[in-house]
Amino acid sequence: MKKIIFFIIFLCFCLTISINIKANNDIYVMPGGESIGLKIETGVEIVGKYSVSTSDGKKNPWQKSNIEIGDYIEKVNEYNVENNESLLKILKQLDESSCVLTIKRNNKLIKTNIDIVKTNTYEPSIGLYVKDKMLGIGTLSFIYDNKFASLGHGIYENNELININQGDLTYSNVVSIKKATLNQSGEKRATLASNKIGEIKTIKDSGVYGVINQKMNKNKIKIADIEDVKCDDAVIYTVINGNKVETFDIEIIETKYQNSVNSKGIKIKVTDSVLLSETGGIIQGMSGSPIIQNGELVGVVSHVTLDNPMIGYAVYAKWMYEDLINY
């Protein structure tokens, strides 16, 4: 009998230790919901080629070069190229008939010669369409210390995460909504604020991450463990008008056990009559909206189902937290 009593006491002691350890490992963050703007410098990407009109007719200065759409221009001769403006400035300074481009392709550097021709207006040209930045809107997911997590999914081009040199985080103001319908996605239409509130540091499959310099006074909430997320009622925080964060009802209808990052771990359904009336369900710009269940941050909206905009997916908040602290 004494042995049984001792075993019960020992079991209770172990259980107490286990509970205390779990409590000590709890993570608390400030949930977001704010509409944000993303200004990302991607590097100087070649997106097309064209024939240049000169006083001697049309010319293709790139014709004998080893250049492909999707390459990034790193250097002209020995000069670093940071953006479109610097590329044009370098070409004007050279005042030469050809140069050497250092381009990046599949993370490998390649050097190739290219002609420089004068346009009808006597401007230097290499006949390449290039872009150096990307603008977009989304939703702030959460803040931990001085770092932010947002979007709930990566930003891709040609099925690859985009290249990022640097980026700015701003607020955005939702001015109108394009309502979602069956087989056609809706979207938030917003203007980006000029004031920078943070810097984008990295883009991963689970979201966009960086540092934030805007102080927010919000109550912190716990990030739920993956196994604690249940098929039940929940809410999301998001903006559908101006910059006011509102709360809307959803239902978690499916959860997947995962042992590695995947942006579709939670399946959700919009049940809020106001949100359905205004947006038709989940729309572009809503990505990153935090999902709260039983007072805990369980996930972040990541995708919509096109054939039924009431249904969407979310990434577990725990995955985003781990990516945030490890970038």
- Catalytic site residues? 153, 272, 287
Rounded to whole angstroms, the Cα distance separating 259 from 215 reads 33
With tokens 């420089």, the residue in question is 116
Specify the DSSP element, H or E, that contains 114. strand 108-115
Q: Find the distance separating the first CA and the last CA of the chain, reported in whole Å.
A: 55
Q: Which of 131, 111, 122, 169 is nearest to 47 (CA)?
A: 131
Half-sphere exposure of 145 (CA within 13 A, CB side): 8
Please give the structure tokens belonging to residue 299.
């996930």
Q: Which of 242, 239, 251, 241 is nearest to 298 (CA)?
A: 251
Tell me phi and psi for residue 17, to 5 degrees. -60, -45
Contact indicator for 252, 266 with CB cutoff of 8 Å: yes
Q: How many angstroms separate the Cα of 296 from the Cα of each of 22, 115, 221, 265?
A: 15, 60, 6, 17
Query: What is the residue type of 180?
Result: A
Tell me phi and psi for residue 19, to 5 degrees. -65, -40
